Amino acid sequence: MNTQKEKKRWLILVIAGLLILSAALAAVSFLGSDGFATGGSVTGQSGGLLSTVRNARIDRLLAAVKKTEDCPYSDEDIDAAVKTVKNSFQEKPWFVSLQRIWFDEEESESFLDGYHLCERYGKSDIITIGCDYYVYQSEAAWQSGAYDGWSVILTRENKDSEWIIADQGY
């Protein structure tokens, strides 16, 4: 280390190494051995970076649609209902992650057959969207594990109003 230039280069390399090491240690402090967040102050109340990554993934999820030509819902109706469900998952705690989402006309009709809200809404103003999601951490009302075949029932006042989640479950 003869010159001032070499000393500066060495100092920059040491500082860069320390920054990389501290970032890696911060990541390890809130990620468990399975690679999923275990909590901690790094994520904050809303999940911070983890929520951002999860929400970007949810936005990219494509809904599988299975319907007939006689379906009472247009493609736009189904897309809007799916978007409402996706948005609801983006508002959930960071440790709840939507895995798959779909609309199946036959499944929806079967689920809604005799459902109490059907009396209040027209056939095209109540819809069921299916989804699978995973809870990575048990907390309060959330039990960890997979929730497959979850049904989300949405209603709207008329074709010009937005879908609202009215109920959900198996």
Mean per-residue pLDDT over the chain, rounded:
80
> What is the C-alpha separation between 134 and 37, in angstroms, rounded?
13
Answer for the pair 118, 125: CB distance below 8 angstroms, yes or no: no
Stated pTM of the model: 0.67
Which among 91, 96, 61, 94 has a CA at the least distance from the CA of 79?
61
Residue 45 has pLDDT above 80, yes or no: no
pLDDT band at 103 (very low <50, low <70, confident <90, very high): very high
**10-36 per-position pLDDT tens digit:** 888 878 776 776 665 554 444 433 344
> What is the C-alpha separation between 165 and 128, in angstroms, rounded?
10
